[in-house]
Structure 1
Amino acid sequence: MFANYLIGLREGLEAALIVGILIAYLVKIDRRDLLGRVWFGVGIAIVLALGVGAILTWGPYGLSFQAQEILGGGLSIVAVGFVTWMVFWMGRTAAELAGNLRSGIDKAAQGAGWGIVLLAFLSVGREGVETALFVWSTVGPSTDATLGAAWGAFTGVLLGILTAVVIEILIYRGLLRINLSRFFTWTGYALIVVAAGVLAYGIGDLQEAGALPGWGAPLYDISGLIPPTSPLGSVLGGIFGFTPIPTPLQVIAWVLYLVIALILFTRLVRSKRRPAPTPVPTTPLGETA
């Protein structure tokens, strides 16, 4: 549940910040007549995200076990790709987000301003679809056995989104100031760890379906020490995708993804913190002074 709360908080805050910037800028340029179009675009994006979530949850119900495992494993890997892209994209563009968005608003607000609907829809819809895909990858298609887990995941995401909305309202009203760069940095690190577990889980699904080799030959077995149904096993599984009986391919994928993603993300964070070099003074002819 915590992992889903985190993804809901992270994606929800990104979407809420974008909507807040849209509204604040339209008010500033005296285009309040376009606020309804913002909410119309947001509404369509929410419907899209709910539709994607419903299709993923109940659509595969009638598929064979092998087909469900292949679909689940494949979409888990896709979800990891989306989340990784989102973490690095926000790490690169967080500081310029407001400026870039205002430039887009200026273009979208021309004429009747229907471009605002598209801008709001794309900005919020992307976050919604990513959230639906990532949460589904941690639960899988709806069955009687997974119904409780599905509701737990939905509750976690909903609480995360509600928290994000409250934070954005407080920021918009000037009642709260938070270091967004630091927030996205630490949640980025946390989501990389969560995504590594989802990747290993997805590979396990593909192996169980026979799409990848190696199923049935675990690298180690610590289920006696940490049973997957125990409270500790459930917490580790829900947050980190922990499995006490992993295959060698799962472990290799988990380690490689975690090491490479953490190194690259750390370099990105440090490059953003490094001050820009002072330009060298030149003469009018371009020669160094």
Structure 2
Amino acid sequence: MSNAIVITFRECLEMFIIIIPLILYVGKIDRKDLQKFIFAGIGIGFASSILSALFLVNSINSLEGLAKEIFLGGTMIFIAMLILYNIVWIGRQSKNLSLDVTSKFDVKLKGGSLLLLAAVTIFRESLEIIMFLLPTINEQFIPTIVGILVGVILALLIMLAIYKSSIKLDLNIIFTIITVFLIFMGGHLFGEGLMEFIPNNESIEMSGQLIYSIPLLFLFLKREFKKYMRKNIKK
């Protein structure tokens, strides 16, 4: 359940960083009539992700024996590579975690563009949650669903705390902590994925975890240390 909480919290926080400021922004400039398009986009994105989840779960349930093991193993390795991509490639770009919509996007105040932005944002982040939790949702359905709900609530509470009070949270610190957790999770998935192809071999699982986690953790911490040093030099 802890995996579901952390993954959902991270992805939902990324959703809310875009969606909540967008809703507040159109209200602030007296264009509340556009909020319905944002909410419609949220609904479309959420519905699309649910349909995708049902399709993927049904596809897994239709497989049996070796085919199912290969599919699950391949999915675990794919998720581990997805985590690697997010951390190494996307992380090289300074991710804009500002809550100021005008500084993040060239916001076009048209219903269609707002609907599309909201729908794509919700669907993209929801699909990542689905992919991350796909290998475990069948075996631990109730704990996974509870973890998802807890993650959504925690992310929403943090965003509301930022807007409704004088609390100032460094979102970069939050994402750094979550990323370290995801590195170890990626290593675990990579090792388990290898085990699906070479069953009953614990040394393969442990080797996969170490080969994945140690270099990635080193690169990530090295990059974060350089960013920290540059930030302090500028001060």
Give the TM-score taking structure 1 as reference length.
0.72
The answer to whether the 8 A contact 1:105-1:116 is kept is: no
Match of 2:27 in 1: 27
Shift of 1:105: 4.4
Taking only aligned residues, the RMSD between alpha carbons, in angstroms, comes to 2.4
Unaligned runs of 5+ in 1: 208-214, 219-245, 279-289
Matched, 1:58 2:13: no
Match of 2:226 in 1: 271
Shift of 1:54: 1.8
Q: Distance in 2 between matches of 1:90 and 1:170?
A: 26
Q: Distance in 2 between matches of 1:123 and 1:260?
A: 31
Equivalent positions of 1:39-50 (< 5 A) are 39-50=39-50
Match of 2:81 in 1: 81
The answer to whether the 8 A contact 2:21-2:100 is kept is: no
The answer to whether the 8 A contact 2:21-2:99 is kept is: no
Query: Structure 2 vs 1, CA of residues 259 and 271 (structure 1 numbering), >3 Å: closer, same or farther?
Result: same
Q: Distance in 2 between matches of 1:98 and 1:174?
A: 17
Matched, 1:172 2:172: no
Match of 1:127 in 2: 125
The answer to whether the 8 A contact 1:22-1:105 is kept is: no
The answer to whether the 8 A contact 1:87-1:188 is kept is: yes
Matched, 1:192 2:147: no
Match of 2:206 in 1: 251
Q: Distance in 2 between matches of 1:178 and 1:18?
A: 16
What is the DSSP-based 3-state SS (H/G/I as helix, E as strand, rest coil) of the residue aligned with 1:106? coil
Q: Flag the structure with higher helix content.
A: 2
Give the TM-score taking structure 2 as reference length.
0.87
Matched, 1:262 2:217: yes
Query: Structure 2 vs 1, CA of residues 104 and 190 (structure 1 numbering), >3 Å: closer, same or farther?
Result: closer
Query: Structure 2 vs 1, CA of residues 93 and 120 (structure 1 numbering), >3 Å: closer, same or farther?
Result: farther
The answer to whether the 8 A contact 2:41-2:119 is kept is: yes
The answer to whether the 8 A contact 1:73-1:204 is kept is: yes
Deviations 1:114-149 (A, max 9, x none): 111111122222110000110112x16x3xxx3xx1
What is the DSSP-based 3-state SS (H/G/I as helix, E as strand, rest coil) of the residue aligned with 2:111? coil
Deviations 1:52-91 (A, max 9, x none): 2222223221222111111111111222222333345367
Q: Which amino acid aligns with 2:114?
A: I
Unaligned runs of 5+ in 2: none
Q: How many residues align?
A: 232
Q: Tell me the percent identity.
A: 24
What is the DSSP-based 3-state SS (H/G/I as helix, E as strand, rest coil) of the residue aligned with 1:176? coil
Does 66-75 or 29-38 show the bigger shift?
29-38
Query: Structure 2 vs 1, CA of residues 97 and 180 (structure 1 numbering), >3 Å: closer, same or farther?
Result: closer
The answer to whether the 8 A contact 2:49-2:123 is kept is: yes
The answer to whether the 8 A contact 2:5-2:148 is kept is: yes
Q: Distance in 2 between matches of 1:6 and 1:42?
A: 22
Match of 1:16 in 2: 16
Shift of 1:3: 1.4
Pair member with larger Rg: 1
Matched, 1:160 2:174: no
Q: Which has the higher contact order (CA 8 A, sep 6+)?
A: 2
Of 201, 205, 216 in structure 1, the residue corresponding to residue 196 of structure 2 is 205
Match of 1:229 in 2: none
Deviations 1:167-224 (A, max 9, x none): 21222223533221111111110111111101111121233xxxxxxx34x3xxxxxx
The answer to whether the 8 A contact 1:69-1:206 is kept is: yes
Of 114, 117, 127 in structure 2, the residue corresponding to residue 116 of structure 1 is 114
